[in-house]
Amino acid sequence: TANTIPTTIKYLMDFHPAKCSEEPLHLSGCSNESVFEEEPAEDAAKEKAEREAQKQLMATEELVYTEKNYLRLLQVCTSTIRSNLQALQLPNLDSMFLYTEEVIDVSGRLLSLLDQKQVTPRDPLFVETLCDAFLSLSTDIESAYKEYLANYSNVSALENVYKQKESLWTEIIKVIKSSAPEVNATSLTFFLVMPVQRIARYPLHFQTIMKHTDPGHPVYPLLENTAHTAIALNCRINEYKRFREVADKYKKTETLTIRDKMNRLNSHSIAKKTARLSQFIRHETGISPKIVDEEFDALEGFFYLLEDGIATLHDNVEIYLHHLQRFLSCRPEEFDLDMDGEKPAICYKEITTALRQWILPTYEKRMRLLVHKPLCGLRDLLVGPRNLIRKRLDKLLDYERIEEKPSLTYDDQEVANTYKTINTLLLNELPKFNGLALSLLWGMLGAFSSLHKDLAEDMEQLFQGFAQQLPHSSLEPKAFWEWAECSVLEGAERLERLCQDVEEQLNAPIVQPLSPGSQKRLKVLSDKHGSEKIYQLTGPVVGTRDLELSLNKGELVSVISEMDTRGDRRRWLVDAGGPRGYVPSSKLVHYQPVTMDMPPQLTATTTDRAEGFRRHSYTPDIRPRPSDMPRTQPVFAGYDFMARSNHEVSLRAGEPVKVIEPHDKKGSRDWSLVEVRGQRGYVPSNYLVAMPTTTMATSPYH
Amino acid sequence: MSWMPFKIGQPKKQIVSKTVERDFEREYEKLQKLEDQTKKLHKDMKKSTEADIAMSKAAVKISGDLLSNPLCEQDQAFLDSMTALDTAMKRMDSFNQEKVNQISKTVIDPLKKYSGVFPSLNMAVKRREQALQDYRRLQSKVEKYEEKEKTGPIMVKLHQAREELRPVREDFEAKNKQLLDEMPKFYHSRIDYFQPSFEALIRAQVVYFTEMHKIFSELTDQIDQAGMTDEQRERENEAKLNELRALSIVADD
């Protein structure tokens, strides 16, 4: 089995949009039979280790195969397709291929490093070689891919320009298809998006290898390091892309107006003489100072609003970050339901892994750096002015009192000066404080918006790599959701049917012959309660409380009530042919006595019976009576019977009897006149058993 | 009663071959693993969705609380910025809600329904096991009688025992066959069942992030200073904070 290429690798190699319909590879089929005999525990562990080793090998091989295929396709695109496109004289064609050389080069070097060491994936040292190769090239990989990714938006924009001219685009597609007929490509970006995809796949590859490696293995730390490096590469490459974008945008002029607006806040006084702000103060402090300084009131009012706003914003931001962390802590992509290489499942896993491993963490980091941290810093600075404002108020009240005095003492003079100093200080500096604080807030909120934009951009870039692989990605939104919801409904219906089938077929009660005692019980219960409410015990029950019955498995009861006096539906009140009481409803299964009009299907062979109609019981009325069989058949007592009158005779199970008459004086075949142990008397006919001449069941009724 | 609680040992005849038993166990194990994964995936998706909704609402609160603070009205340009921010957050929240609804319908509900089949399957496997036990027990009983002297009572008992055994054996064989057929089929059905879910998950996010990009590109142009790297922003924040710290009123006595 190691020779067949697993399904996942095959799909990646062919880039085939059609679904692979091969059966999943049963790895456990690789081990040999002897594993399942003695000592299961030890061998189970060995088997597991073998499976993990196999999976690690698969993952390692996958990395190499996909790299080779990726390189090959890129080369086809940049050499064959490109030269064939020259004839079409497309504008700016060269800029499509701007950084492809570097990417091709570094991929080739990775593969040749592996070749040089002359190890194959099967070698125990291969993983180590792979990690070393990757790590040694990581700087070059970063520089090659960062330029490529930063430029990629230009590539797709240029292709859109080409798409505008239908005739030109048709020609392009013709060239592509003729240059690479085995690949089902319908655009240039089909090839050119591959580096975007590839760099994001490295972390996943290494992590998959890690997943199937024993943490105690010496190569594990190296693997871990490589996986982390791959993630860090992606973070830095994205950062660089943003950096380049920002640098390009700086050339625009309109962006300066926001800067101007913010700067204005610093220099001009925000103190406005609004009645509302003065009221605010009076309301807050409950004190109405005699000396009303409207300008100060306004400044103070603003400060309090600022304080409130900053505190609220700080709390809100912390709540936001808390939920972001909660989101990051979930890992639904790990439960992949073993979907056997189905594209949507794989794409989902890759997208979500990228989102959770570096795209969102980067976003969180920047949020903390550019919003949360300055916000905390700002909040800490509010203490000083707040205290000073309160101090000023106290001093003001003192000042008011002494102002009325005709002459001021030295101490009074001190008080007056203190008040005036504080007042002047606040009047001078509060405007600046308010202005700067507001401008800081503005900057933070601007950053907040920009971070969202970057997050969305990163995700869009990630999606680009997968767009062509999803079967229904070409559907318009409305059509897509219709399809999705429809499929889901169909799936639910199928499930329901399956459930029903399982319930009916597999949980049907067993056909079992009834003993005479059970038959009697059945008759009694049917007469008393009707035959619809008869249930059978699926297991023994033992009553522990008052009114609870103890019964054996297989006993028949009639259900009187499907709940107890307290409404508990788990205890049903039943009649056991005399005693009444409660039994657990979980041990009851409905019993259907079959009537005499049995269709001839009963005589069908055993195989038919399994699939078709399943009997739920049969009464001995249908079994051949000994009295119906030829007299030469030996007859025995099948069960003990206690004679209750002079006309009857007792039987012991197993003793041979001689049937004199197969009916009673009134002609009823329910009783037979027999001779046993020298005595004669009547016994119930169904207590007699006729033994066939051979011990195998050969009568047509079996 | 027709059942007597015999505690008879294992029958001599091999009722179920080792291969069949092993196949059965293997298929059942796969299903058990699938059950476990389905449950965990359902749980995790729910948790993740809850956090997602909470995050979006928290973002709306950030802009909402700011906008309702009279602080904003002190400067027209600032007010315009905050209004734009608030509008953007509210729009994103409604897109998020839409995304969550779609995921609920096409992913979370189907997951739950799929999990709901396992109790029936598990019960069916249990019943098969019970049937196997009954089969073994009755088979032992028959073998016991077969070994004894062939007297009349013994023959009767043997006949009865065989009669009892037959339906139980048939029942077990039917259950066994059914499960051996159904289990792999059900396991394989997950692929068709969940494919739309995975596609829907991706599509819903594509739509959401596309909108996010549009909305926040516009907003950022409107309220953010462009041409700033993270380092530059940090420096600017620090500079402003330092200017504040330099004020006399800020030093706390």
Q: How high is the pLDDT of residue A8?
A: 41
- The CA distance from A626 to A636, in Å, is 9
Give the closest-approach CA distance of B9 to chain A in angstroms.
20
Q: For residue A615, give the nearest of A624, A603, A625 by alpha carbon.
A: A603
- The CA distance from A468 to A237, in Å, is 24
- CA angle, corner A686, sides to A684 and A689, nearest 5? 115
User: Is pLDDT above 60 for A28?
Assistant: no
Backbone angles phi, psi at A580, to 5 degrees: -120, 145
- Among A305, A326, A655, the residue with its CB nearest the CB of B69 is A305
Query: Cβ contacts of residue A501 below 8 Å, gap of 6+?
Result: B182
SS3 A557: strand
CB atoms B65 and A312 under 8 Å: yes
Q: Are strands A671-676 and A679-684 parallel, antiparallel or unpaired?
A: antiparallel
- Among A338, A342, A656, the residue with its CB nearest the CB of B195 is A342
CB atoms A452 and B216 under 8 Å: yes
Which H or E run contains A635?
strand A635-637
Per DSSP, A552 falls in state -
Give the closest-approach CA distance of B140 to chain A in angstroms.
17
CA distances from A248 to A150, A241, A243, A253 (A): 11, 11, 9, 12
Among the residue ranges A172-181, A251-260, A390-399, the one predicted with the least confidence is A251-260
For A11-25, the pLDDT digits (tens) are: 344 433 333 333 333
CB atoms A689 and B116 under 8 Å: no
Please state the rounded mean pLDDT for residues A44-65: 88
Query: Cβ contacts of residue A359 below 8 Å, gap of 6+?
Result: A238, A455, A458, A459, A462
Residues of B in contact with A262 (CB under 8 A): 225
Give the closest-approach CA distance of B2 to chain A in angstroms.
5
CB atoms B177 and A323 under 8 Å: no
CB atoms A510 and B206 under 8 Å: no
CB pairs under 8 A between A and B: 383
For A588-630, the pLDDT digits (tens) are: 888 876 543 333 333 333 333 333 334 444 333 334 455 555 5
Please state the rounded mean pLDDT for residues A123-134: 90
For chain A, the farthest-separated pair of C-alpha atoms sits apart, in whole angstroms, at 147
CB atoms A691 and B105 under 8 Å: no
For A299-325, the pLDDT digits (tens) are: 888 899 999 999 999 999 999 999 999
Q: How high is the pLDDT of residue A2?
A: 39
> Which residues share a beta bridge with A672?
A683
Q: For residue B10, give the nearest of B137, B158, B170 by alpha carbon.
A: B137
CB atoms A381 and B244 under 8 Å: yes
For A331-379, the pLDDT digits (tens) are: 888 887 887 778 888 889 889 999 999 999 999 999 999 999 999 999 9
CB atoms B75 and A270 under 8 Å: yes
User: Is pLDDT above 70 for A698?
Assistant: no
CB atoms B117 and A495 under 8 Å: yes
Residues of A in contact with B61 (CB under 8 A): 316, 319
Please state the rounded mean pLDDT for residues A394-415: 79
Residues of B in contact with A368 (CB under 8 A): none
- Give me the amino acid identity at A123: D
For A510-554, the pLDDT digits (tens) are: 556 666 677 788 888 888 888 788 888 888 888 888 888 888 878
Q: How high is the pLDDT of residue B164?
A: 84
Query: Cβ contacts of residue B69 below 8 Å, gap of 6+?
Result: A305, A308, A309, A312
C-alpha distance across the termini of chain A, in Å: 47
Whether the Cβ atoms of residue B144 and residue B165 lie closer than 8 Å to each other: no
Please state the rounded mean pLDDT for residues A671-691: 85
- The CA distance from A673 to A665, in Å, is 9
Among the residue ranges A3-17, A399-413, B69-83, the one predicted with the least confidence is A3-17
Task: Give the HSE-up count for residue A137: Cα atoms under 13 Å, Cβ half-sphere.
Answer: 21
SS3 A658: strand
For A201-241, the pLDDT digits (tens) are: 999 999 989 988 888 889 999 999 999 999 999 999 988 88
Mean of the per-residue pLDDT values for chain A?
Answer: 79
- CA angle, corner A557, sides to A553 and A563, nearest 5? 105
Q: How high is the pLDDT of residue A342?
A: 83
Which H or E run contains A204?
helix A194-211
Q: How high is the pLDDT of residue A524?
A: 85
- Among A436, A449, A484, the residue with its CB nearest the CB of B200 is A484
CB atoms A507 and B177 under 8 Å: no
Position with higher pLDDT, A271 vs A150 = A150
Give the closest-approach CA distance of A76 to chain B in angstroms.
30
- The CA distance from A262 to A431, in Å, is 14
Please state the rounded mean pLDDT for residues A689-700: 51
Using alpha carbons only, how large is chain B's radius of gyration in Å?
35
Among the residue ranges A59-63, A145-149, B74-78, B93-97, the one predicted with the least confidence is B74-78
- The CA distance from A130 to A225, in Å, is 12
- The CA distance from A44 to A28, in Å, is 11
What residue of A is the nearest CA neighbor of B21? A36
Give the closest-approach CA distance of A593 to chain B in angstroms.
16
- Among B65, B186, B243, the residue with its CB nearest the CB of A498 is B186
Q: How high is the pLDDT of residue A22?
A: 36
pTM for the model: 0.70
Residues of A in contact with B114 (CB under 8 A): 495
Q: How high is the pLDDT of residue A90?
A: 80
Residues of B in contact with A34 (CB under 8 A): none
The residue whose two tokens read 């070393």 is: A132
Residues of B in contact with A512 (CB under 8 A): 2, 164, 167-168
SS3 A589: strand
CB atoms A488 and B106 under 8 Å: yes
CB atoms A313 and B216 under 8 Å: no
Q: For residue A572, give the nearest of A592, A546, A548 by alpha carbon.
A: A548
- The CA distance from A10 to A69, in Å, is 11
Q: For residue B26, give the nearest of B187, B153, B249, B138 by alpha carbon.
A: B187
How far is C-alpha A392 from the chain's CA centre? 60
Give the closest-approach CA distance of A175 to chain B in angstroms.
31
What residue of B is the nearest CA neighbor of A500? B120
Per-residue model confidence as pLDDT tens for chain B (253 residues): 344 444 456 677 777 788 888 989 999 999 999 999 999 999 999 999 999 999 999 999 999 999 999 888 878 888 899 999 999 999 999 999 999 999 999 999 999 999 988 988 898 898 888 889 889 988 988 888 888 888 878 888 888 888 888 888 888 888 888 889 889 988 988 898 999 999 999 999 999 999 999 999 999 988 888 778 899 999 999 999 999 998 888 875 4
What residue of B is the nearest CA neighbor of A640? B153
Give the closest-approach CA distance of A370 to chain B in angstroms.
6
